[in-house]
Amino acid sequence: MRKIVFCDFDGTIIYEDALTLLLSKYAKGDWEIYDKLVIEGKMTLEEGIKNQVSLIEYKDQSELNEYLIKNCNLRKGFKEFLNYCKNNNIEFVILSAGLDFYIYLILEKYGIKDIKIISPKTIFNNNKIIVEFPEVDRKYKNFKEEIVDKHSNYYTIFIGDGYSDLWPALKSRKILAIKNSLLDKVLKELKIEAFAIEDFFDVIKILSFSL
């Protein structure tokens, strides 16, 4: 069976949550309320992020880029894990609700190219940011769950850290969660089998022994 890894970006591939950094510094208004509404099920993930990002105000995109490049750091072992996937014929996909512009920006900072990325499309327009998500079948909690579910003919492996990662994780055959993250805590509460990891060297060890 073909194997595929779906991996979150914010808080997973990088230590920081880049979207939270942007919102904390540039959003004008209560952006945190939308996280609460999403968790309570009163708003979809896609709606929540669109509303949050609409609050961001900036003078020039370059200032956003510079801020993120300065403050976002790659989690240990990620490059080595990409090589591991390549050498073991495992498909690797970044599956993120983070904005595409900064995913590409931060990966470029570390010289990482040619990775498949599924994430919202960012449009910069008159000092505002517009976000376009992939279309979602409403039987799913979010687009990430739908993408993973549509790969049920693969041996699916999911790596993540946040609440929105719960749904795609539950559709996966193997789950790896950043240790002490919200995803890790929720999975433990639900008594769902998962591996807690601190970096991608941990991922390599786990997959080497369990695949």
pLDDT on residue 68: 97
Residue 183 phi, psi dihedral angles, 5° rounding:
-60, -45
Joined together, the tokens standing for residue 44 give 């979809």
pLDDT at residue number 210: 77
Q: What is the pLDDT of residue 184?
A: 97
pLDDT in tens, 115-159: 999 999 999 988 889 999 888 888 999 999 999 999 999 999 999
Which DSSP state fits 211? -
Taking alpha carbons only, the member of 84, 118, 102 closest to residue 200 is: 84
Q: What is the CATH number that goes with domain 3-210?
A: 3.40.50.1000
177 and 169 Cβ atoms separated by less than 8 Å: yes
Which residues are CB-neighbours of 113 under 8 A, at least 6 positions away?
Answer: 107
Q: Find the Cα–Cα–Cα–Cα dihedral 21, 32, 164, 11, rounded to 10°.
A: 20
**What parts of the chain have a pLDDT lower than 50?**
none
Q: Which tokens go with 106? A: 């931060």
pLDDT at 209: 85
Tokens of 102: 């900064």
Give the DSSP letter of residue 17. -
In the chain, where the domains are located: 3-210
Record the pTM: 0.94
